[in-house]
Amino acid sequence: MQRKMRGRGVAASWYGIARTATVDRAGAWAELDDGGTAKVVTGVTEIGEGILTVLAQIAAEELGIRPEDVTIGDNDTARSPEAAHAGATRQTYMIGNSVALACREAKARLFTEIAAHWEVDAGSLVAFDGELRAEGTNLAMTMAEAVDLCKRRGVVPVGAGHFTSHGTGLDPEDGSGAPWQAYVFGTQVAEVEVDTVTGEVQVLGLWAAHDVGRVINPRGVEGQIEGGVVQGLGQALMEDYQTANGHPVTHGFAKYILPTALDVPEITSILVEDPDPLSPLGAKGIGEPALVPTAPAIINAIHDAVGVRIRSLPATPEKVLAAIAEKQARAAGAREAAE
Amino acid sequence: MPEMTLDMRVNGRKVTRRADPGQRLLDFLRDELNLTGTKEGCGAGECGTCSVFVDGKLVKSCLMPVAKAQGADIQTVEGLARPGELEAIQKAFHKTGASQCGYCIPGMVMAATSVLREAPEASLDEIKERMGGNICRCTGYSKIIEAVALARDVVTGRASPAVLEPEGVGDSYIGHNVRRLDAPSKVTGRLKYAGDMVMPGMLHMAVLRSPHPHAEIVSIDTSGAEAMEGVACVITADDVPGKDGFGVFVHDQPVMARGKVRHVGEAVAAIAAEDAATARRALAKIRVEYRELPGLFDPEDALKPGAPVIHDYAPDNVVKHIPIRKGDVDKGFAEADLILEDEFSTQQVEHAYLEPEAGLAYVDADDVVTVISPSQNITHHRHMLSEIIAKPINKVRFIMSPVGGGFGGKEDMIYQGMLALAAMKTDRPVRLVFTREESIIASAKRHPSRVKYRMGLKNDGRITAIRFEMLSDGGAYGMSSEGVMRKAAILSCGPYEVENLQVDTTAVYTNNTPSGAFRTFGGMQAQFATESMMDIAAERLGLDPFEIRRRNMMRAGSLTHTQQRLTSASIDRVLEAAEQASRWEPGPVGMRGPTRGDLGGPGTRAPCTLGARFETPKDSKERVA
Ligand code: FES
Ligand code: FES
């Protein structure tokens, strides 16, 4: 065997969107505000995935204004409607849809007033990027003017929305049930190089194809995939929280090894859109699914490279070396037996 | 140490302060000068969130005593750009979407600035190596490196500054790369996380933690600590006025240990004092008498008859068992041409969000007990805390502070209860900031797993039956174990339609660090086993790994493992997309390394050898080979 061996592996995966085996729900309020801006209030929790920007995009699209004109009032149990937790890959799906519905209601209030003013059918109104017009006519105004007019007619354009995901519980005997209404699927291919002298594995390339329903923010989705892949890589190759008789022995970053910029492969994200028919937006989610196939793809690639199967994570250099040595011993034993 | 007068320039302004010369430069900047853009991710020189320039050199301010900065010229992230403006590197982070939770970002921006100053022509590889001392848990580094390269090109004149401007919108904001609205506050260090927040009259909390994995608490004597000057209160389980217990599924965890401790690092008592140092010193004055109990450290042992019992309500130590049955596995195995049996295991994993847990609690003018913290689930926290402190739900308020990474690890209410109790007892605001060590020993981990797998297949690769059995160490408290076992069971056998299956997932109590929610919630542990088995089977049957997956994949109309009828399944599309994008060369699973023709092409990087990539001198004197 050469010292540096390369190989490729693939793993597929699936995941459910929103809370598991139960009804999930989220609520939001929206108001078209002075100057053609908007306030959206919902119990959303930005944990870094970019959900606030996603919600601003959704609100902007629904209301016909620009994302930077949207102010999001986020999670405060005494000030915002319940939208529940940041987890279960649920925020874009649950809260995104409730924000869309709240915005539709606010916009409908506004459109009713403007349509009456223009004496056109509200269905002919279109708003985008701060401009409002009536299709098939020359009538147009800015959203700032529209809000002003609406208020002068005595109407504050507010709306509320909520979204439900109808998961059901599992049967206690056979586990049957419909835990989610939306599923996503993913496939990743990893290319690795294994140093057969040190046992070190480097992941050089990773291709990640994920169905996200509908892409709201492409860079945001890629960021979720890249972050998930690198966490998966950490779990595949290096991370290991250990205790000895209950006493943690890896209680600092000097001992608990995390991936750094040097460990990261080139990552190619391929975003597949299979829109969810049960939701107004069609978007599903990506936060957790991104990390599911990474470790098995890497482990399958190690097998392709050096012919050893790592069954216990992480595939540390010691484990990889031991597996290579065992394989060579077996091969030698087989040769002897054959002679 | 006696105070001394320190003189330095900070962000271009002269600063003179009397301060403890032994304190870390990090604390001096944050506490004395309120420059909280400089973050503490580890306090040990390992993460880079605390990076600042001292006389033009990038240093980790957690490792530098402030006395060493005497007379120095210091630049922090707040000093990079004028208020309201962004430097090219900050604009580049904004443009590429390089900031997620943002906690590592000030340090990253500083490290990137150092790259641009010291090695403005750095290659991608060199950028990565120079940024290698800064950890980010969210982004996977790709967009950070992209941002540094983009700023490099602008700074060196290779690209026009226009590349840093936002992309114009087409006919929809959906599907458009809108730049993150919160990025400017993150790249400038302006965003305040809970540990950066202060309130007038604020007390500081320190927590006494269990040194034993399993022990009865015979007595706790807090009188010595209470008598100390500067201590405002000491709290223990006795201070809980209501029903003491929290957890994502079962409420089996007290705010502080009640009667016994179940894992090393469990909170036993907490102190609120005028400053953090006094609070920490006072911990040593609390006397706790423990009687050690036999411990459980292996999930298999937890199931043995006569095993120590961790929670009285669960005499068998089982947190949750989830069964799934579909079809007839015996019949399925009888029909198989090939039966494979194997075992797989995964380790416990730390979330390692860069922001350690922190929170601030106070009682407001309307008697509302208010907790500000980076929790992932304040809706549920509010319900639990209202029971714990016996107040109506509208007298409990949770406010989310910016979350510096969570990944599931900030779903558990492991400290908010203590903050609320101390605020109620003192009627003053109380803040708690975990150290990195505290965060690691006291917070939940990814469930480790052991899976016993049996798979039957026809010669054509079709799966006829699966038996899947997973045992997980839930650790000392239930936390999210129930949900993790459920999700692991539902997803266990992967995106394949399997007619006959028998799945059991079980989590048990032990005296190890608790396991809880972690991105995928059991999904990755289970599917690691399944995806390994798929390749093992493909190798035995001489099939291409994509092909065996296609032969078994779910389709519209398929019945899932829990017998749900799918109306659509995009697995065919993602398989094809990955196969094409990676230019996969078809062929049976085996050791094909040197012979396959698709290696080393587009989409891969060159392997790296540490230290070999500094084309430009790392500092002006020395050139690294
Ligand atoms: S390196 Fe200083 S806080 Fe981590
Ligand atoms: S963005 Fe880097 S740690 Fe969160």
The shortest C-alpha distance from A293 to chain B (Å) reads 7
A144-171 average pLDDT score: 98
**CATH numeric code, A4-16+182-334:** 3.30.365.10
Q: Residues of B409-432 as b/e, b for ≥16 C-beta within 10 angstroms?
A: bbbbbbbbbbbbbbbbbbebbbbb
DSSP β-bridge partners for residue A162: A27
Q: What is the pLDDT of residue B610?
A: 59
**B460-474 pLDDT, tens digit each:** 999 999 999 999 999
In chain A, the percentage of residues whose pLDDT exceeds 90 is 97
B233-238 average pLDDT score: 98
List the single best residue of B582, B585, B595, B614 to mutate versus A (max A Cβ within 10 A).
Answer: B582
**A201-253 pLDDT, tens digit each:** 999 999 999 999 999 999 999 999 999 999 999 999 999 999 999 999 999 99
The shortest C-alpha distance from B564 to chain A (Å) reads 5
Closest to B469 measured CA to CA, from B299, B317, B336, B295: B299
Sign, Cα dihedral of B393, B396, B400, B404: negative
B91-105 average pLDDT score: 98
Q: Measured between CB atoms, which of A184, A214, A253 is closest to B436? A: A253
| Yes or no, beta carbons of B593 and A306 under 8 Å apart | yes
Q: Is the pLDDT of residue B70 over 90?
A: yes
CATH number belonging to the domain at A23-164, selected among 3.40.605.10, 3.30.365.10, 3.40.50.970, 1.25.10.10: 3.30.365.10
Name the E strands within chain A.
4-16, 23-33, 37-41, 70-73, 125-128, 131-134, 140-142, 158-166, 183-195, 201-211, 243-244, 247-248, 266-272
Q: Is the pLDDT of residue B612 over 90?
A: no
- B97 in ligand 2 pocket by Cβ < 6 Å? no
A71-94 average pLDDT score: 96
* C-alpha dist (Å) from residue A47 to A99, A109, A199, B308, B410: 18, 33, 36, 39, 10
| CA pair distance B480, B482, nearest whole angstrom | 6
Q: What is the pLDDT of residue B614?
A: 56
What is the DSSP code string of B596-610? -TTTT-TTB-----T
Q: What is the pLDDT of residue A273?
A: 98
Band of pLDDT at residue B260, cut at 50, 70 and 90: very high
Nearest CA in chain B to A215: B175
Q: Which domains does chain B have, with CATH numbers?
A: 4-79 (3.10.20.30)
B294-322 average pLDDT score: 98
Which residues of A fall within a CB distance of 8 Å from B553?
A: 12
Place of tokens 């050199």: B57
A226 noted as active-site residue:
no
Q: Is B390 left (phi over 0), alpha (psi -120 to 50) or beta?
A: left
Which residues of B fall within a CB distance of 8 Å from A91?
A: none
Choice among A161-170, B423-432, B610-619 with the minimum mean pLDDT: B610-619
Q: What is the pLDDT of residue B615?
A: 55
- B138 in ligand 2 pocket by Cβ < 6 Å? yes
Which residues of A fall within a CB distance of 8 Å from B570?
A: 184-185, 211, 272, 274
Query: Do residues B432 and B416 touch, judged by C-beta distance below 8 A?
Result: no
Instruction: State the catalytic residue, choosing from A105, A200, A239, A288.
Output: A288
Do A4-16+182-334 and A23-164 fold alike per CATH?
A: yes
A141-160 average pLDDT score: 98
Q: Is the pLDDT of residue B568 over 70?
A: yes
What one-letter code names the amino acid at B434?
F
Q: Would you kindly state where each structural domain of chain A is located, as residue ranges? A: 4-16+182-334, 23-164
List the single best residue of A95, A253, A270 to mutate versus B (max B Cβ within 10 A).
Answer: A253
Q: Is the pLDDT of residue A131 over 50?
A: yes
Which residues of A fall within a CB distance of 8 Å from B495?
A: 12-14, 185
| CA pair distance A60, B173, nearest whole angstrom | 7
Q: What is the pLDDT of residue A335?
A: 86
| CA pair distance B580, B91, nearest whole angstrom | 34
According to the 3-state scheme, what is the secondary structure of B40-90? CCCCCCCCCCCEEEECCEEEECCCCEHHHHCCCEEECHHHCCCCCCCCHHH
Q: Is the pLDDT of residue B613 over 60?
A: no
Q: Is the pLDDT of residue A132 over 90?
A: yes
**A190-200 pLDDT, tens digit each:** 999 999 999 99
In chain B, the percentage of residues whose pLDDT exceeds 70 is 97
Quick one: which atom of ligand 1 is closest to the CA of B62?
2
Distance (angstroms) between ligand 2 centre and the Cα of B425 equals 36
For residue B94, what are its two tokens? 């904004």
Q: Is the pLDDT of residue A52 over 60?
A: yes
B310-324 average pLDDT score: 98
Question: How high does pLDDT run on average in chain B?
Answer: 96
Dihedral in degrees, nearest 10, Cα atoms A173, A176, A180, A184: 120
Question: How high does pLDDT run on average in chain A?
Answer: 97
3-state SS class at B7 = strand
| Yes or no, beta carbons of A268 and B603 under 8 Å apart | yes
Closest to B512 measured CA to CA, from A251, A249, A241, A246: A246
Q: What is the pLDDT of residue B620?
A: 39
The residue whose CB lies within 8 Å of the most ligand 2 atoms, and thus the one to mutate among B42, B47, B96, B105, is: B105
Q: What is the pLDDT of residue B304?
A: 98
Residue B238 backbone phi and psi in degrees, to 5: -65, -20
Q: Is the pLDDT of residue B624 over 50?
A: no
Other C-beta atoms lying within 10 Å of the C-beta of residue A233: 28
Q: What is the pLDDT of residue B170?
A: 96
Q: What is the pLDDT of residue B364?
A: 98
Q: What is the pLDDT of residue B409?
A: 98
The shortest C-alpha distance from B621 to chain A (Å) reads 24
| Yes or no, beta carbons of A175 and B561 under 8 Å apart | yes
The shortest C-alpha distance from B246 to chain A (Å) reads 16
* Contacting B residues, span 364-383, partner chain A, CB-CB under 8 Å: 368, 375-380, 382
Distance (angstroms) between ligand 2 centre and the Cα of A220 equals 14
Q: What is the pLDDT of residue B609?
A: 74
Q: Is the pLDDT of residue B352 over 70?
A: yes
**B12-44 pLDDT, tens digit each:** 999 999 999 989 999 999 999 999 999 999 999
